[in-house]
């Protein structure tokens, strides 16, 4: 196990370097002179030259990359062209909102997905199974930005039960939870649908296996067969889907934050793209991609721990 963790850790490092290279080069190749963006329309050529000198934009690309990475390792992601605020500080301020949203939607996705998937498998071909599989397919097909708007229309505008948007109260307060409900459902629906489909198919496979037949033949109660014997094995592939989905949820927060006007990493990124604020885009993309691969690494390790049959040799 230790060997696996060490090997995966080194692969992760290489992957992170690759990601940083892609992100850095993409921003470097983007049209538009950063000096002109910072200096504004009134800046003279000598002003712009001074800005280039100050930012190190006159240096060769590779030197600029190594300078940037030196900063990244020390937690310095540069400064926003628009606000001159440190990108790291902007990310730290907004990260809790994104993280809370991702966690809340993961809870929604896992609870709904696993329960729906298992009931569907146990009651295969029943009306519940048919409607839940159809709803799951619809769940994957709903644009989440539209679902968010519809939830706002029903629960905030028409019924007035939940706030329209924003996420400023702490998540453990009633107000904070109220603010989280609609965004979490919006973001978690597609993942819930995927988890439901996966849980259903793996559960169906497991309940047909020999050891379940043996358990039933021995007279074990059906509830114990399903919840104690079948579920443990059926959940192994589901863990992977949950892990991969958590990474995607981090990416998905970008859209949901926009719909619900949540001050998170996603909004920071979109504003950065719109205003061609490259350090902000670079920092936020790097962070989300790095988190995604780290979560995947953790999932891989958990997967190997849960299922001793898995070998990565």
* Residues lying near other proteins in the complex (CB under 8 A): 15, 18-19, 22-23, 26-27, 29-31, 134, 137-138, 140-146, 149-150, 152-153, 157, 247-248, 250-252, 254-255, 258, 269-270, 272-274, 276, 278, 281, 285, 288-289, 292-293
Smallest gap from residue 201 Cβ to other proteins (A): 12
SS3 call for 176:
helix
Contact (Cβ atoms closer than 8 angstroms) between residue 246 and residue 106: yes
> In the 8-state DSSP scheme, what is residue 158?
I
SS3 call for 44:
coil
Contact (Cβ atoms closer than 8 angstroms) between residue 271 and residue 281: no
Indicate the residue among 225 and 252 with the shorter CB distance to other proteins.
Answer: 252
Q: What are phi and psi of 33, to 5 degrees?
A: -90, 120
Smallest gap from residue 116 Cβ to other proteins (A): 17
Smallest gap from residue 229 Cβ to other proteins (A): 26
Contact (Cβ atoms closer than 8 angstroms) between residue 118 and residue 160: no
SS3 call for 148:
helix
Contact (Cβ atoms closer than 8 angstroms) between residue 248 and residue 293: no
* Residue in this structure with the two tokens 């939607």, named with its chain if needed: 105
Indicate the residue among 88 and 191 with the shorter CB distance to other proteins.
Answer: 191
Q: What are phi and psi of 161, to 5 degrees?
A: -80, -35
Smallest gap from residue 104 Cβ to other proteins (A): 18
Indicate the residue among 201 and 209 with the shorter CB distance to other proteins.
Answer: 201
Indicate the residue among 23 and 226 with the shorter CB distance to other proteins.
Answer: 23
Contact (Cβ atoms closer than 8 angstroms) between residue 300 and residue 293: no
Indicate the residue among 48 and 135 with the shorter CB distance to other proteins.
Answer: 135
Smallest gap from residue 46 Cβ to other proteins (A): 28
Rounded to 5°, angle at Cα 265 from 260 and 268: 85
Indicate the residue among 33 and 53 with the shorter CB distance to other proteins.
Answer: 33
Smallest gap from residue 170 Cβ to other proteins (A): 27
């Amino acid at each position: 196990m230790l060997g696996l963790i060490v090997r995966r850790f080194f692969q992760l490092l290489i992957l992170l370097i690759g990601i940083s290279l892609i992100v850095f080069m993409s921003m470097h190749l983007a049209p538009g002179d950063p000096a002109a963006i910072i200096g504004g329309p009134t800046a003279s050529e000598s002003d712009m030259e001074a800005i280039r000198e100050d930012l190190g934009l006159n240096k060769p690309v590779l030197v600029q990359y190594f300078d940037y990475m030196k900063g990244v390792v020390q937690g310095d992601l540069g400064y926003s062209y628009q606000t001159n605020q440190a990108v790291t500080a902007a990310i730290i301020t907004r990260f809790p909102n994104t993280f809370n949203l991702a966690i809340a939607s993961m809870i929604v996705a896992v609870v709904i997905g696993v329960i729906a998937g298992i009931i569907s498998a146990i009651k295969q071909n029943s009306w519940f199974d048919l409607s839940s599989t159809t709803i799951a397919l619809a769940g994957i097909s709903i644009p989440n930005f539209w679902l968010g708007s519809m939830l706002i229309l029903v629960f905030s505008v028409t019924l007035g039960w939940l706030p329209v948007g924003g996420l400023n109260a702490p998540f453990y307060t009633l107000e904070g939870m109220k603010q989280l409900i609609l965004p979490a459902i919006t973001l978690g629906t597609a993942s819930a649908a995927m988890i439901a489909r996966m849980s259903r198919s793996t559960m169906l496979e497991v309940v047909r296996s020999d050891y379940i037949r043996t358990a039933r033949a021995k007279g074990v109660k059906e509830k114990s067969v399903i919840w104690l014997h079948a579920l443990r094995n059926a959940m192994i592939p589901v863990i992977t889907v949950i892990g991969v989905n958590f990474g995607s949820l981090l990416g998905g927060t970008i859209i949901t934050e926009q719909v619900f006007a949540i001050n998170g990493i996603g909004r920071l990124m979109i504003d950065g793209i719109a205003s061609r604020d490259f350090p902000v885009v670079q920092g936020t993309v790097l962070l989300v991609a790095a988190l995604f691969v780290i979560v995947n690494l953790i999932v891989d390790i958990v997967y190997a721990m849960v299922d001793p049959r898995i070998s990565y040799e």
